Amino acid sequence: MPPGFRTLSKSDFKVARSCPTKLYYKESGEYQSVSEHDPYLALLAQGGFMIEQLAKARYASGVEMSQRADPVQAWRATEKAIRSGDVVLFEATLLHGRQLARVDILQRVGRQLRLIEVKAKSWDSESDRERAEAGKLREFWAGKKAKSIASAWREYLEDVTYQTLMLEALFPEFSVVPYLCLVDKAARCETDALPEHFEIQRSEDRNGRIVSVKLLGDTSAIARELLTIEVPVSEEVNALRDDVIDATALFLASYEPELQRIPSPISTSCKGCEYRVPDGALAPDKKNGFAECWGALATVEPSILDLYHVSRLKGDEGPLADRMLAEGLAGLLDIPADVVDALPAGGNIAQRQWIQLEHTKRDEPFIGAGLRDALEGARYPLYFLDFEAARTAVPFHRAMQPYGLLAFQWSCHIVDAPGAPLRHVEWINTDRSWPNEAFAQSLAEAIGSSGTVLT
């Protein structure tokens, strides 16, 4: 592969599907992303990689493919392994022209290739069974008829479709059967302290994110865990084929003869763009992608993007904000008066939008009508409570379900009477026991049954 040869990886495809212009920002390397070195994303990655290891542990004969720097060599190793006979490969490399993908689990069984994409997204096998028994479509589908993929699942299913199409092109003599391997919320953990069977590998990719997890100790115990479930998605992939083929062709065309930017209209979806870098946070050697897309509208304050549920703002002809942006209006106070005046008669979202717009225009805080009565109704002692809890994909305690709640810490400031000194009590779980019961008991002992809790 020649130096500088660009490939469209499955992560590139995902980025481009969210916004084609972002493919240029990502591939050029000249634009700053607010998601780089994000500790929360790193935490999510740890959970995702542990789920991937759980899924792989079911395949004792699985072969971890070498993560070669040269994708051509990695692809040749994959092709040789697949054509040699039945096999299970982890992180197999696919290379088809400029398209590149690494498959989490690829299994050859006879003339069939099982493509398994592992995601840390939850799936409820019991609910899925009940839906099937009732004659209902799976959760993947929107509405009551198999006509469109639900938006919550489209990104994951397009990922599988992208890889499926590559496999079919590379191995036309095989039948490809795609699966999503998901976290089964209906399952229960059989192993105490299961996360301690994983060691986080601190190697990093170009974005600084953790990229691997190593299994420790008795791997047979991990292999017995049934916290993941392989869900066949051939029907869903078939529904997405044409869309993915068309999108792939568009993205690949932007690489020829050299990397080109695919223009995309600005919209309210830009609100969460990772290339929307806050003022003062831009590195000297980086560009601001959001500013390039929005031009002079990027600096308008207050921005229409700051509006609560901005995409739900309605005008006479439907959604209003994107139409305003197309007309060059990006200010919160550019919203027409008749639209603002109609908001109080709407639902909760519209009413909150009206409050924000009116009080922004007046430059004054909003104080709800019931706040004074609520405060006057508070009875001493007053308990100002804060607590911490976690939901992790891999449970720490035996018999817990994935993403089950662990309440592990609380702290409370107490005012016993008007003018009384503030006192503080707290609790944190410091041993390996399941914390929820001790959390509740210690909190109940601390605050008793009288007074008002504010949290």
Residue 113 — very low, low, confident or very high, per pLDDT cuts 50/70/90?
Answer: very high
By the 8 A CB rule, do 291 and 298 touch? yes
Please give the structure tokens belonging to residue 65.
């493919």
In this prediction, residue 210 carries a pLDDT of 47
- Strand-pair category, 87-96 with 63-64: parallel
Taking 60 as the threshold, does the pLDDT of residue 132 lie above it?
Answer: yes
Task: Calculate mean pLDDT across residues 290-315.
Answer: 95
By the 8 A CB rule, do 17 and 155 touch? yes
Inter-CA distances, 436 with 124, 193, 254, 390, 428, Å: 23, 16, 53, 11, 11
In this prediction, residue 152 carries a pLDDT of 95
Each residue's pLDDT tens digit, 244-287: 999 999 999 999 999 999 999 999 999 999 999 988 899 999 99
Please give the structure tokens belonging to residue 62.
């699985």
In this prediction, residue 445 carries a pLDDT of 96
SS3 199: strand
Measured in degrees and rounded to the nearest 5, phi and psi for residue 410 equal -145, 155
Taking 60 as the threshold, does the pLDDT of residue 30 lie above it?
Answer: yes
Residue 143 — very low, low, confident or very high, per pLDDT cuts 50/70/90?
Answer: confident
Each residue's pLDDT tens digit, 330-355: 999 999 999 999 999 999 999 999 99
Q: What is the rounded CA–CA span in Å between residue 359 and residue 346?
A: 18
Residue 66 — very low, low, confident or very high, per pLDDT cuts 50/70/90?
Answer: confident
* Domains parsed from the chain with CATH numbers: 8-253 (3.90.320), 268-362 (no CATH), 373-454 (no CATH)
Question: Residue 355: CA atoms inside 13 Å, Cβ hemisphere, count?
Answer: 14
Each residue's pLDDT tens digit, 195-239: 888 887 766 555 445 456 777 777 777 888 899 999 999 999 999
SS3 126: helix
Exposed (0-12), middle (13-18) or buried (19+): which is 52, by Cβ within 10 Å?
buried
